[in-house]
């Protein structure tokens, strides 16, 4: 019995060249079967006996189905997915139940690569749901794929009725201009922020502006997950343009009066995804006092990130 079936055997000598080919793939050649069109081989890794076409052994690097199944199963367990069936249109694909509960068609090789840490197994349905929520936060509705066909873009409908393609990254960050009514990041509410960041190379603070300080700190600055951070102060600004002007004025004042407190890029390197706007912690009280003066001029502005606290 081989592969669960009875087979005919042929004890004729096996050519040395074919033995060498099998050996290079990690198999032992055992005997002929089915009129010498097939051979029986044994995997030296797991001991499984199987049939292979003579031409396949001769011309390609053969693999053990048992070892492949074991390797794939280990990969599935590692990343928390479950194979529920093979894709009927392509033997390289399977249907997998993802941790979120959705079913996705994926290449077996990509599942194994994900288990090795080469990429993450994301869910397309969850991703589109996230894009929908991000769009609503900016006053847009996700319509569907981009009319332009550009990767990384989606088609959105603005509250004014305008439909256009926008980069999903820009929509997430709120950096989007409506070509219908003219609303843009510069006309929408924003904020000036002050962050504390506890890098391994030393504690620093960052002064900047954003329409979403929380996202700016946790995502856009690409600070490692293990690094401690804190939002020290947020001052709502009526528009992005106003926030930009006020923030630049604060940096100019710091450069004029406290240049020694500016931290150069080489001190924090790739620890923070920015080239400027970083100060030593000794600048904290100085900057907070300067921010008090800014806040006094804009006392009734709505917070663009009102879930911050």
Beta partners for residue 105, in sequence order: 95
d(CA 103, CA 300): 48
**Tens place of pLDDT per residue across the chain (309 aa):** 677 677 777 788 889 999 999 999 999 999 988 878 899 999 999 999 998 999 999 999 999 999 999 999 999 999 999 999 999 999 999 999 999 999 999 999 999 999 999 988 889 999 999 999 999 988 899 999 999 888 999 999 999 999 999 999 889 888 888 888 887 877 888 899 999 999 988 999 999 998 889 888 877 888 888 899 999 999 999 988 899 999 999 999 999 999 999 999 988 988 898 888 999 999 999 999 999 999 999 886 665 555 443
> pTM, whole model, 2 decimals?
0.57
Reported as half-sphere exposure (CB side, CA atoms, 13 A), residue 169 has a value of: 5
Number of neighbours of residue 133 by Cβ within 10 angstroms: 10
């Amino acid at each position: 019995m081989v592969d669960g079936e009875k087979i005919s055997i042929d004890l004729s000598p096996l050519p040395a060249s074919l033995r060498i080919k099998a050996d290079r793939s990690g198999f032992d050649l055992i005997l002929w079967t089915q009129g010498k069109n097939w051979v029986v081989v044994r995997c030296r890794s797991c001991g499984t006996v199987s049939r292979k076409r003579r031409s396949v052994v001769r011309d390609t690097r053969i693999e053990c189905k048992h070892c492949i199944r074991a390797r794939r199963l280990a990969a599935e367990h590692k990343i928390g997915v479950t194979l529920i069936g093979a894709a009927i249109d392509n033997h390289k694909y399977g249907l997998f139940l993802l941790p979120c509960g959705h079913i996705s068609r994926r290449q077996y090789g990509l599942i194994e690569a994900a288990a090795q840490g080469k990429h993450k197994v994301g869910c397309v349905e969850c991703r589109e749901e996230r894009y929908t929520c991000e769009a609503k936060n900016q006053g847009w509705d996700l319509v569907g794929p981009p009319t332009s066909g550009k990767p990384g873009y989606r088609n959105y409908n603005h509250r004014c009725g305008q439909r256009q393609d926008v980069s999903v990254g820009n929509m997430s960050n709120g950096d989007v201009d409506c070509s219908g009514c003219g609303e843009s990041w510069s006309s929408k509410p924003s904020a000036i922020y002050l962050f504390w960041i506890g890098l391994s190379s030393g504690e620093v603070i960052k002064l900047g502006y954003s329409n979403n300080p929380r996202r700016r700190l946790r995502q856009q600055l690409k600070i490692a997950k293990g690094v401690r951070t804190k939002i020290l102060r947020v001052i709502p600004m009526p528009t992005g343009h106003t926030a930009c002007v006020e923030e630049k004025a604060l940096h100019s004042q710091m450069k004029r009066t406290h240049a020694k407190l500016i931290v150069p890029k080489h001190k924090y390197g790739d620890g923070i995804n920015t080239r400027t706007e970083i100060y030593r912690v000794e600048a904290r009280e100085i900057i907070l006092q300067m921010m008090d003066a800014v806040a006094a001029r804009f006392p009734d502005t709505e917070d663009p990130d009102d879930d911050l606290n």
